[in-house]
Amino acid sequence: MNWFMAVLKKYAVFSGRARRKEYWMFVLFYILIYVALMIVEGLVGSPGILALVFALGILVPSIAVAARRLHDTDRSGWWLLIGFVPLVGGIVLLVFMCLDGTSGPNRFGADPKAEPEPA
């Protein structure tokens, strides 16, 4: 859960780098929370308002951590726009998010693997 909170603390920070672990742990907790909200809303007969509010509230941090993840692979955050290309864009972004980051500093900042992980 610390990985999720670490991303939320950098709510709108689009500069710097995010390692794979930070990005994928954020995605994991995002999905778990979203699914839990959908289950609770299904049990109480709600139309999904809580899950929608959660998704909209997490939109900016999601884009920010994705941009920082692309920075770690030495790509501009503007590559996120390729996700709007049907099918191919999503696959390309998935590959970029799975690639290992560049070793050492790059044009977007210091290597995040050299920094201590959140406890």
- Residues 107-116: tens digit of each pLDDT: 998 888 877 6
pLDDT mean across residues, the chain: 90
Model pLDDT, residue 119: 61
- 29 CB burial (10 A radius; 0-12, 13-18, 19+): middle
Model pLDDT, residue 87: 87
pLDDT in tens, 52-80: 999 999 999 999 999 999 999 999 999 99
Angle between helix axes 59-72 and 2-9 (nearest 10 degrees) is 90
Amino acid found at 32: L
pLDDT in tens, 10-58: 888 899 999 999 999 999 999 999 999 999 999 998 888 999 999 999 9
Given a contact cutoff of 8 angstroms between Cβ atoms, the answer to whether 20 and 101 are in contact is yes
Beta bridge partners of 106: 109
Among 87, 89, 97, smallest CA distance to 28 is for 97
